[in-house]
Amino acid sequence: MNICLEDIKRKYCVMRWEEIVDEARRDAVEYGYRRPWDGDDGEDYEVFYNRYGRGIRAGQEIETLPSWIKQLKPDPAQIFKPDPNLPPGVVQTKTQTQILYELFPYDWNYTDDMSQYANDYYDEFESEFITEDMAAQNRRIARNLRNIEQTGKALDKNFSPEDVKNAVGTNDTSGTTDQWRNAEMSAKDAHKIAEDDDI
């Protein structure tokens, strides 16, 4: 189960990486920027520019993201949308599927071939930040989510959606609060790494 959780984290991190790089490449085309760090001597950006540049500059609707990203969009039935036409005082009930999606809005679809999620930057992150304490927390999250799916209740009384959102549980006795903080990669850290590597 722990390996599966690492796979799912890689899948969605690499997906978001692709989206961010794609957006930056589109901006570079539009504003005439160079990207010499994008591939060897800017080779990856040059390929992107030659393939899509003319269409982007012409304002055409062009799909530039890898095709597998389109397959990862969630089923609309999983996403809770409040009904604006309900009379005052009437509470709209979420389905179990919608509750589970809010707790853990991810799936393992398209993870049978993990080679498509190869990413050197994520490899570096994984080797530097994924610790034994985080692996233990991942197993705890998996146990509780599986039990919620099967019985509607978490195994641990102190398990909460925050544990899933943060992927770091400060109430877990398998690591101290300081250890969890050290294992986390904050948004600030991510931006710093991006700036240092000219991403």
Give me 63's structure tokens: 């799909």
Percent of the chain residues past pLDDT 90, beyond the cut:
21
Can you give the pLDDT at residue 155?
Answer: 77
Band (126; pLDDT cuts 50, 70, 90): confident
The residues, ordered by sequence, that sit 6+ positions from 45 with a Cβ below 8 Å of its Cβ are 25, 28, 34, 35, 38, 39
Highest mean pLDDT among 12-21, 72-81, 139-148, 172-181: 12-21
Q: What is the pLDDT of residue 89?
A: 85
pLDDT in tens, 40-91: 999 999 999 999 999 999 988 888 988 778 777 777 788 888 888 888 888 8
- Asked whether residue 184 carries a pLDDT value surpassing 80, the answer given is no
Question: Per-domain residue ranges for the chain?
Answer: 2-18+74-196
Tell me the angle at which helices 132-151 and 2-31 cross, rounded to the nearest 10 degrees. 100
- Least confident residue range of 32-36, 98-102, 143-147: 143-147
In this predicted model, which residue has the larger pLDDT, 118 or 147? 118
pLDDT at res. 29:
95
- What percent of the chain has pLDDT above 70? 74
114, 146, 138, 96: which is closest to 12 by C-alpha? 114
